Amino acid sequence: MNYLHEDRVKKRMASRLIKNKLLKSFFLGATLLSLVVLAILMYRMISQGHAYLNWDFLTNFSSRFPQNAGIKAALIGSLWLLAVVAPVSLLFGVGAAVYLEEYAKKSKLTTFIQMNISNLAGVPSIVFGLLGLTIFVRMLSLGKSVLAAGFTMSLLILPVIIVASQEAIRAVPKDLREASYGMGATKWQTIVKIVLPSAIPGILTGGILALSRAIGETAPLVVLGIPVIIHFLPEGLLSEFTALPMQIFDWAKRPQEEFQYVAAAGILVLMIVLVIMNSVAIIIRNKFSKRY
């Protein structure tokens, strides 16, 4: 009996190998495409924006005239926004993660909360803007303030922070907790002195990545009605402000060609802020991450 038709196998071998080669290069091409797109994107932004990116650009307010337009109000406004979003989202995000990982019993309520978090992560950002407009801007009459935008953005990134913190807390080995209980520590003492310190690098890495999403997000701010032509810096949490992506959006929409370059310069500033934040996250990850 003949199990293998050797001649037939040989005949098809060449075409099978060629197909393998061809598609391998297609797969490689598809992978490299993202690299190419990223390169083109960065090149475009730098070549368009570099001429406008100077000290005046950083220290001027926005203007009707492209050569005078600056990003000061937006840059400082984004930092104010960060000052609200960071504490609020980390407090509630890490708190929820500690509850779900350390205290919550396996109950229907816990499953519901967990399911709700993953569904919340899939809600489009613009819908969070509608929520913020009704609840924070109108019902709580916070107006188009740093606080209203900060709360909206905090809710937007809350699911990301919860999930990242949960993973970080879950990665803390059980031995550490049990050793702590064995020494007579209470549950809360164990959480504060053992679990959180070992989970903090993971929490911070995930947290900073989530915060950089909040810095770059535009849609909720548009819906809240955050103004773009602002010639003062925020004086407190309740003052009006503008933010980097809003300012870029405004410039990008203007018909004059020069404003395209101004927008590109604004994008460069935004990208630099994001690169700084991501570098901090990477440094934290590399420096403090312990392997158990």
* Minimum CB distance to another protein, residue 27 (Å): 4
* Minimum CB distance to another protein, residue 273 (Å): 10
Nearest residue (CB) to another protein, 38 versus 283: 38
Given a contact cutoff of 8 angstroms between Cβ atoms, the answer to whether 215 and 189 are in contact is no
Cβ partners under 8 Å of residue 73, min gap 6: 61, 62, 230, 231, 232, 233, 241, 242, 247
CA separation for the pair 197, 203 (Å, rounded)? 10
* Minimum CB distance to another protein, residue 145 (Å): 17
Which pair of tokens denotes residue 175? 């031995």
Helices (H), the chain: 6-49, 55-59, 72-98, 108-121, 125-132, 146-170, 174-182, 187-190, 196-216, 219-224, 244-253, 258-288
Nearest residue (CB) to another protein, 235 versus 276: 276
Nearest residue (CB) to another protein, 39 versus 58: 39
Nearest residue (CB) to another protein, 197 versus 235: 197
**Backbone angles phi and psi of 108, in degrees to 5:** -65, -35
Given a contact cutoff of 8 angstroms between Cβ atoms, the answer to whether 184 and 203 are in contact is no
Nearest residue (CB) to another protein, 203 versus 248: 248
* Minimum CB distance to another protein, residue 234 (Å): 21
Which pair of tokens denotes residue 206? 């995930």
Nearest residue (CB) to another protein, 184 versus 236: 184
CA separation for the pair 73, 88 (Å, rounded)? 23
* Minimum CB distance to another protein, residue 32 (Å): 8
* Minimum CB distance to another protein, residue 235 (Å): 25
Nearest residue (CB) to another protein, 29 versus 197: 29
* Minimum CB distance to another protein, residue 36 (Å): 10
CA separation for the pair 237, 84 (Å, rounded)? 8
Within 10 Å of residue 45's Cβ, how many Cβ atoms?
18
